[in-house]
Amino acid sequence: MVRTDEQYRDTTAGMVAERAIRRQRNGVDAAAWSATGDAVAARPDLAVFQFRARNEWHAGAHCCTTIDEFHGAGEERSHEGAFCVEADRPAVLVGRDQAPTPVEFVLHAVASCLTAGLAHSAAARDITLHRVTSTVTGDLDLRGMLGLDPQMRAGCRRIEVRFEVEADASAEDLAELIAAAKACSSVHDMLTSAVPVHVELELASTPRPV
């Protein structure tokens, strides 16, 4: 029987709640993860998170994003340190190739999110992972980005993620892990759902001198 994403979420949540694993597996403290689920179930307001990023342009396609503060579990929080992430374009796309492209960061994001979900799901099921690798590809046609064809989308028309997993588990178990990771992945959900993105201009309060 094929299970829906909702059923995978319910199954994963139930297994985590039922098993109070006192030791780490795959680098995941499943007991702490279970306690997090219990806390959010008791107080849904704790589930509201807002992640933030501040971007500054340097030149051409080169820019830098600072990631530091976020809101979560009912209060303002900060990472252990500020993260600075640069982006650029390769020379063939008239960039200076000083950093990965924004599209490549999206590929990194979906692979990382799915991998984290897989590790957590495996820990909840008492499955030990030995190696997890994935290859992500994004197919893009420049005619959309360059505005040459209004019928062509500016972004990737297809993203494909291929996992290779070595674990103390059967092929069926591994398929279940991938399905559960996909069902609970925030990034996969954002990419496959119509998430509203509002873009606006905020004028500087103090004009630059001429």
* Distance separating alpha carbons of residues 22 and 206, to the nearest angstrom: 56
Q: Which two tokens stand for residue 92?
A: 């063939």
Strand partners, 132: 165
pTM metric for this prediction = 0.83
Q: Is the pLDDT of residue 185 over 80?
A: yes
Q: Rounded distance, CA 12 to CA 14, Å?
A: 5
Higher pLDDT, residue 179 or 34: 179
SS3 80: strand
Tokens found for residue 74: 């009912």
Q: Which domains does the chain have, with CATH numbers?
A: 5-39+100-192 (3.30.300.20)
| Tens-place pLDDT, residues 79-130 | 999 999 999 999 999 999 999 999 999 999 999 999 999 999 999 899 999 9
Q: Mean pLDDT of all residues in the chain?
A: 88
The answer, yes or no, to whether residue 182 has pLDDT greater than 50, is: yes
Tell me which amino acid residue 180 is: A
Q: What is the pLDDT of residues 123-149, one digit of tens each?
A: 989 999 999 999 999 999 999 999 999
Compute φ and ψ for 175, nearest 5 degrees: -65, -40
For the chain, the first-to-last Cα distance in angstroms comes to 69
